[in-house]
Amino acid sequence: MGTGKRGLLAAAVTVVCAVTVLGAPGTAFASPSPTPSPSTSSTTPPLPSTASNKDLETVRTKLEALYHDAAVATDAYNAAEEAAKKQSAEIVELAKKIVAGQEKLDDLKDRAGAAARAQYRTGGLPDEAQLMLTDDPSEFLDGAGRVLQGQRATKGLIGELSRTQQDLEQYSKDASTQWQKLEAGRKTKAAAQKKIEKQIAAAEKLESQLEKKEKERLEQLEAQVALEAQTAWLDTGVLDEIDSAASVQGKKAVQFATAQIGKPYVWGAEGPDSFDCSGLTSEAWRSAGQVIPRTSQEQWKQLPHIAVEDMRPGDLIIYFDDASHVALYVGDGAIIHAPRPGRTVTLAGAGSMPILGVVRPDA
């Protein structure tokens, strides 16, 4: 793509950043500053009746930290939810195996019982003893063959009974292990949910202290911080190096994400009416026929890493040192993402938050 055209596109994205309130979990409008500490207290002193620019910057920083904590907890919640789904499915499969194994064991016991009853009907003598009592040579030979077959069948039956019992014991142990994991996961999910709700409630309380005009000024400040970060990123010349075309699946993922613009952010949501950040990216790629991990942290861990200058539309940009946010790159320096509570799925500058790296679902 020519430098002139690219410059126009970059300028267009910059304009979008300037007029759009950008957000991300943990820092709805990330600045180039370090990732806020997860240990930030939710206790905030009341604001003065008329907040100064310094006061608003304090609010912005505080909100940044609260939403970052909520984003980290959301990733933990989503991870526990995914694990619970897998463990529940495993328990169902083990239950089916236990039922089938018990039916098989009952059948084997019936066969063993039938063999015992047959022996009883012949006087309780083993086949070898009955064979020694016959005087007919042909009957003796036929009987010898039957004895050998009977011995093999008995050994096979006993062996199968033993293996089936061992299988049932192992299935029961596995089911118990999965139940324990499921219970632990429930506790993890409950703790994460509690933290999410606490951080969001603290953020909402903090914002509720602002007057209407102060909220407008806060939005302008947030947008300004995002614009400055995006401009600094573009000034590195990185966009001049990015000119890869989207793959077929990447185009489908971008189309899906574009169609979701305007839908609200809801933590833990995977659509169709609302999304969180990784819910949007995972569903976008699911619509393209590619199943990827549910959380931003697992997307960063499991998907192939790509150099920023090599990224193409459809790739996922992972943000912050703890991989607590993810967005879908759509080309020309722009992303589509689900920012944080109180915001909607939106177009933003790819450099408006600190980039950890890029991953490619269809590498």
Catalytic residues: 277, 325, 337
Could you tell me the strand order of the sheet in which 346-349 lies?
305-306, 355-359, 316-319, 325-331, 334-337, 346-349
Amino acid present at 318: I
For residues 227 and 333, the answer to whether their CB atoms sit within 8 Å is no
Neighbours of 19 (CB within 10 A): 8
**Residue tagged 């169902």 (tokens):** 92
